[in-house]
Amino acid sequence: MSVRQSLLAILDQGPCYGYQLRTEFDRRTGSTWPLNVGQIYNTLDRLERDGLVEKGDVDEQGHVYWQITDAGRLEVRAWLASPVERSQGTRDELAIKLAVAATLPGIDVGDVIQTQRLASLRQLQELNRAKYAGANPDGPEELAWSLVVDSMIFTAEAEIRWLDHTEQRLALHPQHAMELELSTEKPKRGRPVKTEAGA
């Protein structure tokens, strides 16, 4: 998720100080992605370095108001107009965990899948409870929050479907047929062995 572009988009509405930006971000995302104030100020410093924001007025409490520049507005427009690019490879810990577990000797991958399925089902139940316990999504804050929660619900549902699919695929193969022994072929690259000088 792009904290950088999200903060820029909020600043496009008007100048804000750091803690105010955090509050505005939380209002728009239902506090589903917690940001600390240090992260906000680090991002603002980088945005200033890149010429996308600048420091503005300081109020009587000492709050420095940040404002977007024309270059920042252009970046917001470009961000909103472009699709989110998904990476080609996966960095999903669960997918990697199951791929590795399926190839290890003595590991019951069914147990690994079942443990994850139970955790994913609990998360899905909590998300659904939170959604239906929330206020009617008529206001802008409630609507923004429900959009984020809906995305999390769909992600949890997809994970459960993927776990079912994975379990079915693995059931077609005997466990011992999936095991990979360590390769005896030595990689061509690696850290060379250090030798003592003069040896």
Q: For 1-127, where are the E strands, in sequence order?
A: 53-58, 64-68
Count of helix runs (H) and strand runs (E) in the chain: 8, 2
Helix (H) / strand (E) containing 99: helix 93-101
Q: pTM to 2 decimals?
A: 0.67
Most confident stretch, 17-31, 49-63, 122-136: 49-63
Q: Which phi and psi angles does 64 have, rounded to 5°?
A: -90, 120
- Residue-wise pLDDT tens digits, 89-123: 667 788 888 888 888 778 888 899 999 999 999 99
Distance CA 102, CA 21 (A): 45
In Å, what is the CA distance from 145 to each residue of 89, 121, 159, 160? 29, 21, 21, 23
Residue 13 tokens read as 């509405």
Helix, strand, or coil (residue 4): helix
